[in-house]
């Protein structure tokens, strides 16, 4: 854990790295279950950043303070737009942008380029502040919460359910405290981005700042203010992928939500999260029924890994030994679980292969569903339902396809959110399976009727 250094221009010991959750939630290579993500994810090229240029300082040792009003990002009244450091990328810098009025006075700080801050300020959360007025229920205790914070043996603090929580119920939702562009880690020397991180926290409203400073540093070792904030970030941040219309597709965000940060890890968690780019909000929903007294948990890593791999990753990134129920089962049960994980990994690739080579059938999707159930992968069930819907439709069984597509939506919305591309695809299939791209798709490919696949010469075939 200690061996990681920041000189590799990325933050290797940070939570939720892309690779972890990518297989499930990222639109792109192997990401979207339905192939519904048509947009290219490549960077759209350098936009004209000159308009927002800050006065730059070649030494880059001290933050640069702008004196030129024209150089300030337009379009949004940030309460703070400093400090700034010169980026090695041409014509730009990386600064802290704090808005202490955001989300009804909760406040939020962003570390990014002036150009990207300008983009963020055009998102609905900023344009229509009513959207985020009532999102945060925790910090100001505006509603009774479903959980309590408690000391958990061997894990530090954690959250315990106070009431019965049903699968699909919202547990909490929060706007970010700190949202850090990955570019800050890549472009700036360690000392500079650490200064930005500390300023981003220090500039927040008092209550909010205290909340962040009280978060876990994992080891509780005494540190300088700047180092402590760095450790708080690396122990508590989530990785968030860029929005599909954000030009800066090659850089995600590194984000701290202090209330959600109290949730501990379990390899078979009872809750899951997704980020909504319109409201800049992280949503946490129950993925199974939870009884009062149970701890609320998330998986910090891709749960579809064998025990050894899970433990290695948790130990490397967060420095703890996993003692969750799955990791502490008897040897024979752990082995059986690892075999199921192995099978799942072997099989799921078949569903994204729409060539005649694919082994995917409705029966194969039934097998994967069964493996997910046995593994208690409640957060991944929507994937299996999606594959079932597509495979049944692809062999011309519309009613069964619609049945599974409905399940995919029901189980998927709490996990990936209603705006997710896979959810949109499933809604389309439910509405009209015959018009969906998957209709008879396997039959056509396997039947070898050629690309058109409609029987030729059948005069009464209707044009689609
Ligand atoms: C995001 S914080 C979770 C909340 C934290 N326990 C606290 O006191 O604020 C992550 C840290 O919690 C601890 N932690 C989380 N899950 C754990 C687990 N399953 N077993 C042991 N420690 C865990 C580790 O110290 C980890 O670095």
The model's pTM is 0.83
For 68-110, how does the pLDDT look when each residue is reduced to its tens digit (9 = 90+)?
444 444 557 899 999 999 998 888 899 999 999 999 999 999 9
| Pocket flag, ligand 1, residue 299 (CB < 6 Å) | no
Q: Ligand 1 atom 22: the closest Cα is on which residue?
A: 155
Q: Average pLDDT, stretch 418-422?
A: 96
For 224-276, how does the pLDDT look when each residue is reduced to its tens digit (9 = 90+)?
999 999 999 999 999 999 998 898 888 999 999 999 999 999 999 999 999 99
Ligand 1 mean position, distance from CA 265 (Å): 7
In sequence order, what are the residues at sequence separation of 6 or more whose Cβ sits closer than 8 angstroms to the Cβ of residue 399? none
Per-residue pLDDT at 187 = 94
pLDDT band (50, 70, 90) for residue 34:
low
pLDDT band (50, 70, 90) for residue 451:
low
Q: Which of 4-13, 45-54, 367-376 has the highest mean pLDDT?
A: 367-376
Q: Average pLDDT, stretch 339-347?
A: 98
Tell whether the model's pLDDT for residue 139 goes beyond 60: no
For 296-341, how does the pLDDT look when each residue is reduced to its tens digit (9 = 90+)?
999 999 999 999 999 999 999 999 999 999 999 999 999 999 999 9
Per-residue pLDDT at 65 = 45
| Pocket flag, ligand 1, residue 320 (CB < 6 Å) | yes
Q: Give CATH for domain 6-317.
A: 2.170.270.10
Per-residue pLDDT at 397 = 98
Tell whether the model's pLDDT for residue 14 goes beyond 70: no
Residue 146 CA neighbour count, 13 Å, CB half: 21
Cis peptide before 83 (omega within 30 of 0): yes
| Pocket flag, ligand 1, residue 381 (CB < 6 Å) | no
For 367-412, how does the pLDDT look when each residue is reduced to its tens digit (9 = 90+)?
999 999 999 999 999 999 999 999 999 999 999 999 999 999 999 9
Per-residue pLDDT at 247 = 87
Per-residue pLDDT at 144 = 73
pLDDT band (50, 70, 90) for residue 449:
low
Tell whether the model's pLDDT for residue 12 goes beyond 60: no
Pick 62 or 273 by higher pLDDT.
Answer: 273
Q: Output the six-digit token pair for 272.
A: 């899951």
What is the percentage of the chain residues whose pLDDT exceeds 70? 79
| Pocket flag, ligand 1, residue 157 (CB < 6 Å) | yes
Per-residue pLDDT at 62 = 42
Tell whether the model's pLDDT for residue 353 goes beyond 90: yes
Per-residue pLDDT at 56 = 29
Per-residue pLDDT at 106 = 94
Q: Give the atom of ligand 1 at the shortest distance from the alpha carbon of 319.
A: 27
Choosing from 154, 316, 320 the residue with most ligand 1 atoms within 8 A of its CB, the one to mutate for a pocket test is 320
| All structural domains of the chain with their residue ranges | 6-317, 331-447
Per-residue pLDDT at 11 = 35
pLDDT band (50, 70, 90) for residue 211:
very high
pLDDT band (50, 70, 90) for residue 44:
very low
For 156-168, how does the pLDDT look when each residue is reduced to its tens digit (9 = 90+)?
999 999 999 999 9
Per-residue pLDDT at 450 = 54
Round to whole Å and give the CA distance between 268 and 376.
6
Tell whether the model's pLDDT for residue 2 goes beyond 50: no
| Pocket flag, ligand 1, residue 218 (CB < 6 Å) | yes
């Amino acid at each position: 854990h200690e061996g990681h250094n920041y000189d590799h221009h990325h933050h290797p010991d940070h939570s939720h790295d892309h690779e972890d959750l990518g297989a499930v939630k990222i639109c792109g290579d192997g990401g979207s279950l339905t192939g519904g993500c048509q947009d290219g994810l490549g960077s759209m090229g350098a936009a004209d950043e000159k308009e927002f240029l800050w006065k730059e300082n070649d030494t880059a040792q001290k933050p640069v303070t702008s004196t030129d009003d024209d150089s300030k990002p337009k379009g949004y009244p940030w309460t703070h737009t400093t400090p700034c450091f010169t980026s090695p990328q041409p014509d730009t810098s990386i600064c802290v942008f704090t808005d202490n009025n955001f989300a009804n006075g909760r406040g939020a700080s962003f570390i990014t380029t002036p150009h990207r801050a300008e983009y963020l300020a055009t998102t609905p959360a900023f344009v229509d502040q009513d959207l985020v007025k009532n999102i945060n229920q925790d910090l100001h205790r505006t509603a009774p919460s479903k959980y309590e914070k408690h000391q958990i043996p061997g894990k530090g603090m954690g959250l315990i359910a106070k009431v019965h929580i049903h699968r699909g119920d919202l547990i909490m939702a929060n706007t970010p405290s700190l949202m850090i562009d990955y570019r800050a880690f890549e472009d700036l020397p360690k000392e500079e981005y650490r200064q930005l991180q500390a300023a981003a926290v220090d500039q927040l409203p008092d209550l909010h700042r205290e909340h962040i400073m009280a978060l876990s540093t994992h080891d509780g070792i005494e540190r300088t203010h700047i180092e402590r904030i760095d450790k708080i970030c690396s122990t508590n941040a989530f990785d968030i992928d860029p929005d599909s219309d954000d030009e800066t597709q090659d850089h995600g965000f590194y984000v701290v939500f202090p209330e959600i940060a109290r949730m501990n890890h379990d390899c078979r968690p009872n809750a899951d999260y997704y980020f909504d780019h319109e409201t800049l909000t992280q949503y946490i929903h129950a993925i199974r029924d939870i009884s009062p007294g149970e701890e609320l948990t998330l998986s910090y890593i891709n749960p579809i890994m064998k025990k050894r791999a899970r433990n290695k990753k948790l130990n490397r990134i967060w420095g703890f030994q996993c003692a969750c129920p799955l990791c502490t089962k008897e040897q024979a049960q752990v082995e059986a679980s690892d075999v199921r994980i192995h099978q799942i990994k072997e099989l799921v690739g078949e569903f994204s292969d729409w060539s005649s080579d694919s082994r995917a059938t409705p029966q194969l999707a039934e097998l994967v569903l069964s493996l997910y159930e046995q593994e208690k992968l409640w957060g991944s069930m929507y994937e299996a339902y999606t594959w079932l819907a597509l495979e049944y439709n692809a062999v011309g069984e519309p009613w069964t396809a619609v049945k599974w597509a409905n399940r995919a939506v029901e189980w998927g919305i709490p996990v990936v959110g209603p705006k997710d591309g896979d959810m949109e695809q499933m809604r389309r299939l439910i509405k009209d399976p015959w018009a969906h791209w998957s209709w008879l798709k396997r039959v056509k490919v396997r039947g070898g009727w050629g690309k058109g696949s409609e029987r030729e010469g059948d005069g009464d075939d209707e044009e689609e």
